[in-house]
Amino acid sequence: MTTNGIIQIALYMAVLLALVKPLGAYMARVYQGQPIRLDRVLGPLERLIYRGCRVKPEQEMDWKVYTLSMLAFSILGIVSLYALLRVQGMLPLNPQGMGAVPPDLAFNTAVSFTTNTNWQNYSGETTLSHLTQMVGMTVHNFVSAATGMAILVAFIRGLVRHNARAIGNFWVDLTRSVLYILLPLSLILAMVLVTQGVVQTLGPYKSVALLQPTKDANGQMVTQQVLAMGPVASQVAIKHVGTNGGGFFNANAAHPFENPTPLTDLLLILAETLIPAALTYTFGKMVGDTRQGWTILAAMMVVLAIFALATYAAESAGNPRLVALGVDQAGSNINPGGNMEGKEVRFGVARSSLFAVGTTATSTGAVDSMHDSYTPLGGLSILILMQFSETILGGVGSGLYGMLIFVIVAVFLAGLMVGRTPEYLGKKIEAYEMKMASLIVLLMPLIVLGLTAVAVVTKAGVSSIANPGAHGFSEILYAYTSQGNNNGSAFAGLNGNTTFYNVTGALAMLVGRFWLAIPALAIAGSLAAKKTVPAGPGTLPTNTPLFAGLLVAVVVIVGALTFFPALALGPIVEHLMMGSM
């Protein structure tokens, strides 16, 4: 590691923490219906949407109606996006004449973008039209992110309210998330990206002359190259702001048309982590104790910092096999050093590692380097971050309500240790809440490990592996971990565009999103109906460094105990093999 690299990571952390309070306070005002400056501009549009959709904003829902509304909206999203993908060849804004997407791939993609996963078994620039990229992918980037934020807000209301049935109005929470938070932030970021060279056009692809002609595989001279163009900046902005991750190009944020400069790289890392971090302060404001939010954020940031440095250290150490060949992997003024395979020279090891950690700690899934080319320990770090159930920041909304589930588990464990009924924010945590929390904690590992086991023992699963052995196992484990946690990044060496992986991957994404959101909303409804219990001498303080440590321990222990055997078969044994040869 170099001083320059550590400074880059520290600078990112400092800027992120500085933005948490102002954005978090603003989002709290949005969800509490308090006046904000954008009301004058967007208020009429918000009311027009309610009238057009026949929504009564003052009419709140209990958790069952809220859940059914969320599910109905999501199912409609899957069906509409699937239909768009299947008929895109007959629609306008298709200058390259892209045809219909095959049924199994269209199904996987529709589920992927509706669940905020944005897993891509296709290359965007060779598969999707401009219309599909805008109306399909970009729109779903907004509404899938807003859905997660709405679920979080409903969960917070469950903690705040007492002797109540209602936890809010899904349609209002969805609309306000898009209009007042996601849309303004994405607009600002998109404009900045355009100034840095990110493409934004509805024109066709461009053919340009090569500076240095070359020959193709058949020995024919190649003098021109086709440059893919399209509405890139608008999609890149929301894919990071909304922790989506689906790239316009197959190379994602490693492509110079998506991420051309070191400044855009830093902005994209900030964008994908900003709302998840700021929502902790929003949570504190809405429950009336900002220390609660800071405690959760502290737990998240400590883990994030540790894994950022661990990944950077692993990649900076380089590949010992190259050392034996006499390759210089030491960092210097003219050599970035470390393991540069699969990384952009303009970003280097430090920021590539930081980007990888940021994208897997959240549910973004965007990449500015190829994770498949990381060292075994570097790949292990980003795998573990996803296996923490995307609670270290996590997706917008989904990350925090996932972490709050672990808070409930931590409070329950503490209560068992002292022989007292556990409480959190004045609400007793009883059998019903723990049953629902257990479902959330157990379902994700069950689907990830179960599908991985099926894939490694079936012909349909192993036939897609490009790298046999431990690394091939890691590729399969990474794929289902990414999809089961609604992340979307990939180890790349696995051919996921098969019927087997398209269907099983869609199943993992559906479970990872909705089978976790439903129990979370059930907990919200249960807590809202409870009365508030005044804090007493035996109440566990949940706004202290001690509790932050307990929370981190619970998250780490659950993740380690569940996935360690599988990790031992993949990246751990691969690291031992690499060092022994």
Q: Which two tokens stand for residue 159?
A: 């903690």
Strands 423-424 and 221-227: unpaired
Q: What is the largest CA-CA distance in the chain?
A: 82
The average pLDDT across 252-270 equals: 94
Number of domains making up the chain = 1
pLDDT per residue over 423-448, tens digit each? 899 999 999 999 999 999 999 999 99
Nearest to residue 354, comparing CAs of 373, 369, 341, 336? 369
Residue 401 lies in a domain: yes
Residue 216 lies in a domain: no
Residue 578 has pLDDT above 60, yes or no: yes
The average pLDDT across 130-154 equals: 95
Residue 218 lies in a domain: no
Residue 332 has pLDDT above 90, yes or no: no
Q: Note the pLDDT of residue 1.
A: 81
* Cα 56 from chain centroid (whole Å): 32
pLDDT per residue over 78-121, tens digit each? 999 999 999 999 999 999 999 999 999 999 999 999 999 999 99
pLDDT per residue over 499-533, tens digit each? 999 999 999 999 999 988 999 999 999 999 999 88
Alpha carbon of 576 to those of 137, 475, 569: distances in Å? 41, 17, 11
Q: If pLDDT is split at 50, 70 and 90, which confidence band does 336 have?
A: confident
Local structure of 494: helix, strand or coil? strand
**CA R_g for the chain:** 23
Query: Which amino acid is present at 477?
Result: L
Q: Is the dihedral of CA 147, 148, 151, 153 positive or negative?
A: negative
Alpha carbon of 229 to those of 95, 129, 338: distances in Å? 10, 11, 33
Average pLDDT, the chain: 92
Local structure of 399: helix, strand or coil? helix
Alpha carbon of 137 to those of 78, 121, 512: distances in Å? 11, 14, 20
Q: Note the pLDDT of residue 540.
A: 84
Residue 581 has pLDDT above 60, yes or no: no
- Determine contact, residues 140/78, Cβ cutoff 8 Å: no
437-440 own/partner pairs: CB under 8 Å, 24+ apart: 437/405, 437/408, 437/409, 437/412, 437/519, 437/523, 439/515, 439/516, 439/519, 440/389, 440/402, 440/405, 440/516, 440/519, 440/520
pLDDT per residue over 175-229, tens digit each? 999 999 999 999 999 999 999 999 999 999 999 999 888 888 888 899 999 999 9
Query: Which amino acid is present at 549?
Result: G
Q: Note the pLDDT of residue 327.
A: 78
Residue 490 has pLDDT above 60, yes or no: yes
Instruction: Print burial letters for 89-105: b (CB count within 10 Å at least 16), e (below 16).
Output: eeeeebeeebeebbebb
Query: Which residues, in sequence order, are CB contacts of 281 under 8 Å at separation 6+?
Result: 20, 21, 23, 24, 25, 28, 290, 293, 294, 297
Q: Which two tokens stand for residue 167?
A: 């936890």
351: containing domain: 3-207+226-579
Residue 214 lies in a domain: no
| Kind and range of the H or E run holding 82 | helix 63-87
| Rounded Cα distance, 198 and 549, in Å | 42
Residue 579 has pLDDT above 70, yes or no: no
Residue 538 has pLDDT above 80, yes or no: no
Residue 47 lies in a domain: yes
Nearest to residue 109, comparing CAs of 293, 319, 100? 100
Question: What are the beta bridge partners of residue 62?
Answer: 166
Residue 220 lies in a domain: no
Q: Which two tokens stand for residue 190?
A: 């998109």
In sequence order, what E strands does 107-262 have? 166-168, 206-215, 221-227
- Determine contact, residues 319/373, Cβ cutoff 8 Å: no
Q: If pLDDT is split at 50, 70 and 90, which confidence band does 235 have?
A: very high
Residue 285 lies in a domain: yes
Residue 494 lies in a domain: yes
Question: What are the beta bridge partners of residue 225?
Answer: 208
24-28 own/partner pairs: CB under 8 Å, 24+ apart: 24/278, 24/279, 24/280, 24/281, 24/282, 24/284, 24/285, 24/293, 25/281, 25/282, 25/285, 26/181, 27/181, 27/275, 27/278, 27/279, 27/282, 28/281, 28/282, 28/285, 28/286
| Kind and range of the H or E run holding 303 | helix 290-317
